[in-house]
Amino acid sequence: CYGIYAFNTELNDVEKIVANVTVMASGGAGHVYSATTNPVIATGDGMAMVYRAKGKVRNMEFIQFHPTALYHPGEYPSFLISEAVRGFGGVLRRKNGEEFMQEYDERRSLAPRDIVARAVDNEMKKSGDDFVYLDITMRKKADILKHFPNIYAKCLSIGIDMTKDYIPVTPASHYMCGGILVDEYGRSSIKNLYACGECSSTGLHGANRLASNSLLEATVFAHRIYQDAVENFNNNIIPENIPEWDSKGVTQSNEDVLVTHNLRELQKVMGDYVGIVRSDFRLERAHRRLFLIYQETEEFYKRNKVSVKLCELRNVIQTAYLVIKSAMQRKESRGLHFTTDYPNHADALIDTVF
């Protein structure tokens, strides 16, 4: 790797930036789904770029869904109702007020994220509702305000007083455990390209991330990358003949509706067919649908000037493709990947690498 082609949003043009060392630190891929807690930049850019550059990505099927994002249609990304609310006594309930987690796990509402997310997903599928409730009304108002001032203020801003009302919650994609395959120094399979943070797959999160580990991982690996990079910085000789970005023959698009439409369509396909519970049938369906969206978008990309939205759409499509292919390859249920066709662990633990 000798650097990047970067889209300069002020000049509306692509620049060549050469570098001895390049670090991909582009974050997660939550926006492969429409319901996500991730910031809007989480469009899988790093994973998609590295894959297109023939680098390796690993275990892209392991996507963590947070069970309790605030259900508030139209708000994008979703607001997270932290696990601490359940830790503080919060209980999940059906719309009719019944508690249900005891039917899924003896730890009830305190079961791990993946179990709670699957239970909520199942409850929503059974009832046809778009959410379940989180109830913390048994705690004193003063305690709730002291522990959760932001969540209280947010809920109140949309007319929910969590000291008296149940909070409507729904699962949302939260963290990508897979990503760019790196070694213990953050080195990717492409020479002089490192990856760090959520876009990388260090192996640390396995098939199921524990809450709060990702910032620690990013800090440790950023330091290791720095240590390795300062040692090897001068070994990368940059060739003279790296071409400028070639935008001949493209025009400024006035059809941005295609970009928005294809993103929404892809997110719907992923949410419906490649969500918390998967099956071969749904994955194949998603794969077919995605191919159409891919073809259309690539055609559009070749003819039009790049824009942030267009680049992100291509990257979301590429990432979704990797998620589907990885999920299809894993003929077992493990960690965050659950499929009704293979509900048990396989004996051998095998990484999915593309």
Q: What is the sign of the dihedral through the CA atoms of 138, 141, 147 and 150?
A: positive
Tell the smallest beta-carbon distance from residue 41 to ligand FAD (Å): 4
Question: Residue type at 196?
Answer: C
Nearest in space to 133 (alpha carbons), one of 91, 73, 163:
91
Q: Report d(CA 295, CA 318) in Å as an integer.
A: 11
Question: Residue type at 253?
Answer: S
Q: Report d(CA 50, CA 200) in Å as an integer.
A: 10
Binding region for ligand FAD (CB under 6 A): 25-28, 37-39, 41-42, 45, 80, 175, 197-199, 212-215, 218
Q: Report d(CA 97, CA 166) in Å as an integer.
A: 9
Six token digits for residue 283: 């994955």
Tell the smallest beta-carbon distance from residue 48 to ligand FAD (Å): 9
Distance of CA 57 to the CA centre of its chain: 14
Comparison of 42 and 120: residue with beta carbon closer to ligand FAD: 42
Q: Is 113 a catalytic residue?
A: yes
Comparison of 10 and 240: residue with beta carbon closer to ligand FAD: 10
Comparison of 80 and 353: residue with beta carbon closer to ligand FAD: 80
Contacts for 262-266: CB closer than 8 Å, 24+ residues apart = 262/293, 262/296, 262/297, 262/313, 262/317, 263/31, 263/312, 263/313, 263/316, 264/34, 265/289, 265/293, 266/32, 266/290, 266/293, 266/316, 266/317, 266/320
Comparison of 23 and 124: residue with beta carbon closer to ligand FAD: 23
Tell the smallest beta-carbon distance from residue 44 to ligand FAD (Å): 9
φ and ψ at 302, to 5 degrees?
Answer: -70, -30
Nearest in space to 167 (alpha carbons), one of 286, 67, 247, 277:
67
Comparison of 87 and 343: residue with beta carbon closer to ligand FAD: 87
Q: Which member of 86, 93, 113, 187 is catalytic?
A: 113
Comparison of 71 and 175: residue with beta carbon closer to ligand FAD: 175
Which ranges constitute the DSSP H helices of the chain? 45-52, 84-87, 113-127, 141-147, 149-157, 213-232, 256-273, 280-303, 308-329
Cα→Cα distances 153→133, 150, 204, Å: 18, 5, 35
Comparison of 213 and 295: residue with beta carbon closer to ligand FAD: 213
Tell the smallest beta-carbon distance from residue 151 to ligand FAD (Å): 12
Tell the smallest beta-carbon distance from residue 217 to ligand FAD (Å): 8
Tell the smallest beta-carbon distance from residue 167 to ligand FAD (Å): 16
Nearest in space to 324 (alpha carbons), one of 295, 299, 288, 297:
288
State yes or no: cis peptide before 77, omega within 30 of 0: yes
Coil/strand/helix, residue 109: helix
Annotated catalytic residues are 113
